[in-house]
Structure 1
Amino acid sequence: QELDELLAGLGVYAEAHALTPPAGMRERVLGRVLAEIGTVAPAAPVAEVPTMRVSASNPHVASAAVPAAAPATRSNGWAIAASIALLLSLVGNALLYTNWQKTSNELAVALNNQTRFASSTQVMERRLHATQEQLHVLRSPDEYKLVALAGTPAHPAARARVLFNKAAHRVYIDVAQLPPLPTGKQYQLWALDNGKPVDAGMLTAATTAGDGLQQMKDIGSAQAFAMTVEPTGGSAGPTMSTMTVIGNI
């Protein structure tokens, strides 16, 4: 009751002392409020507050809807798949490179073996041809004149022979025994035509050791053959003091 009486008294006081506001004051106040509202930045979105759903049978609080995480999960899935694909690609490329390198090495070895085999085949063919030619020379006394070369007094044990085909101008040398040569020296064969020495070629180391026949330079005419020791590569004329063997046709 005292509160009611106090409120009533305030109302009577307010009516007794009420003042009329100046003209235009209401419009100025409203304009200022609207201007202040226009300058205020929009508020950040407020998270949805859980709402209360009450019923007689199920008085539970309904939570706000939560955005699904599917996009993030899908992005992570794509990233993992891309990483796996990249890893598989790297492993595959490494395996392909290893296999390619292995194949290249095997191919190089095969080509090298083929080249070596071809070279060996060519060497064997040349040797076979030379052997066949030597057999023909040795088995054709009518075509090839056998000239025995005997050792000089300085080398009595030295022996060799020349097979000379005068019609074809072909000359072959066959060594039975010759003294060993010092370093930088080589045997040189000479054809003596009317007393004039003609270079008939240098003997190889194999021929000097008695390893088969060696075809020498062609000689058109000769009455004798001799052999001297010369510097490696030969000389323009024979060194008479080193004559080892000599024989007349």
Structure 2
Amino acid sequence: MDIKEYISSGIIEAYVLNLASEEEVSVLMCISKHNSEVQQAILEAQETLEDFATVQAMSPPAELKSIIWDEISDQTNHPVAPIKKAEELIPQSPLPSSVRKFSALNWSIAASILLALSIGANIYFQNKITTNQNLLEQSVSKQESTQKALMSLEEKWAMLQDPAIKTITLAGVEQHPKLKAHVFWNTSTRDVYLSLENLPPAPEGMQYQLWAIVDGKPVNAGVFPLDHTDQITSMNQIPKAQAFAITLETKGGNPTPNLSQLYVMGNT
């Protein structure tokens, strides 16, 4: 997990503002126990919120205190007068200008806090949406790759079941002992199909080329497409051959094989 990316995701702000889910809080607490960066980020977020509340804090205006004490004094000096209701202790209309300013400022502070909460929540949920989209794209890509692999296996299985098709395994030569490829050769139609199996991708400007060894001489059986290395590919028709081999040639293929770049070979 990239800790810096996790910290910038907005989850800590959501936690401090009490917007995170129980599962997210549990994960955050677990990570913070073992990571000082996350612990520090939580403390800084909490301090930022506390500083904001402290800066915006304001004492009630002095006029409001005087009004209440005047009412209390009046009740003390005139005990026989009817006792006023609580709501009558503060003048109903109009309030002093300082009181009105105090009320307006309270609304401004509340609006600022709501705005901060909204921004934090928007950042958090936007990051979650982006993460989910990335996961979905990865899942689709993986599914497509799996589907291609399955189709390739089905195609190989069908060829193995065809009695007219001969399967030739091309084993790695001394320089490449672990490499392997398969040639599926239809001796009736002369069609040739090639599967590279575990051969690595061809380097830039290079391409794999299949050769049929006919009466001791190499015959070009075609180049393997650069963008289909994980699939079975139809090659040139070959009427007869004693062996097949694969070399790495310049892009587009060559009329004669570069034997120093011989990768795999197999007899029919």
Normalised by the size of structure 1, how large is the TM-score? 0.50
2:184 to 149, 154, 163: 163
Moved more, 233-242 or 106-115: 233-242
Change (3 A) 1:173 1:107: closer
The residue that corresponds to 1:146 in the other structure is 167
> Following the alignment from structure 1 to structure 2, what is the Cα–Cα distance between the partners of residues 72 and 153?
100
Over residues 46-98 of structure 1, what are the superposed CA-to-partner deviations in whole Å (9 max), with x where a residue is unaligned? xxxxxxxxxxxxxxxxxxxxxxx999952111111110111101110110111
The answer to whether the 8 Å contact 1:188/1:229 transfers is yes
Cα RMSD between the aligned structures?
A: 4.5
Q: Secondary structure at the match of 2:255?
A: coil
The residue that corresponds to 2:108 in the other structure is 86
The answer to whether the 8 Å contact 2:181/2:194 transfers is no
Map 1:170-209; keep pairs closer than 5 Å.
170-173=192-195, 188-191=209-212, 197-202=219-224
1:129 to 108, 128, 151: 151
- Which stretches in structure 1 are left out of the alignment for 5+ residues? 1-68, 208-212
The percent of aligned pairs where both chains have the same amino acid is: 20
Moved more, 153-162 or 183-192: 153-162
The residue that corresponds to 2:236 in the other structure is 219
The residue that corresponds to 1:4 in the other structure is none
Q: Once the 2 structures are TM-superposed, how far is the Cα of residue 103 of structure 1 from its aligned partner?
A: 0.7
Q: Secondary structure at the match of 2:134?
A: helix
The answer to whether the 8 Å contact 1:193/1:221 transfers is no
The answer to whether the 8 Å contact 1:146/1:164 transfers is yes
The residue that corresponds to 1:245 in the other structure is 265
Over residues 188-245 of structure 1, what are the superposed CA-to-partner deviations in whole Å (9 max), with x where a residue is unaligned? 31246897722423499xx8xxxxx852343234322532433464632232644663
> Following the alignment from structure 1 to structure 2, what is the Cα–Cα distance between the partners of residues 158 and 124?
22
Verify: 1:112 aligned to 2:134, yes or no. yes
> Following the alignment from structure 2 to structure 1, what is the Cα–Cα distance between the partners of residues 95 and 175?
107
The residue that corresponds to 1:63 in the other structure is none
The answer to whether the 8 Å contact 1:171/1:215 transfers is yes
The answer to whether the 8 Å contact 2:209/2:249 transfers is no
> Following the alignment from structure 2 to structure 1, what is the Cα–Cα distance between the partners of residues 180 and 120?
63
Over residues 164-203 of structure 1, what are the superposed CA-to-partner deviations in whole Å (9 max), with x where a residue is unaligned? 2354835134779x9x9xx998753124689772242349
Task: Output the amino acid matched with 2:244.
Answer: A
> Following the alignment from structure 1 to structure 2, what is the Cα–Cα distance between the partners of residues 157 and 75?
89
Change (3 A) 1:197 1:88: same
Higher alpha-carbon Rg: 1
Q: Secondary structure at the match of 1:90?
A: helix
> Following the alignment from structure 2 to structure 1, what is the Cα–Cα distance between the partners of residues 267 and 235?
18
> Following the alignment from structure 2 to structure 1, what is the Cα–Cα distance between the partners of residues 197 and 131?
41
Task: Output the amino acid matched with 1:190.
Answer: W
Q: Secondary structure at the match of 2:236?
A: coil
> Following the alignment from structure 2 to structure 1, what is the Cα–Cα distance between the partners of residues 101 and 161?
88
Over residues 95-146 of structure 1, what are the superposed CA-to-partner deviations in whole Å (9 max), with x where a residue is unaligned? 011111111111111111111111111111111111111222222223x233
Change (3 A) 1:154 1:131: closer
Q: Secondary structure at the match of 1:229?
A: strand
The answer to whether the 8 Å contact 1:190/1:199 transfers is yes
Change (3 A) 1:153 1:161: same
> Following the alignment from structure 2 to structure 1, what is the Cα–Cα distance between the partners of residues 139 and 174?
48
Q: Secondary structure at the match of 1:109?
A: helix
Change (3 A) 1:200 1:214: farther
| Aligned residue-pair number | 168
The answer to whether the 8 Å contact 1:192/1:222 transfers is no
Change (3 A) 1:158 1:203: farther
Moved more, 122-131 or 233-242: 233-242
Which structure features the higher share of strand residues?
1
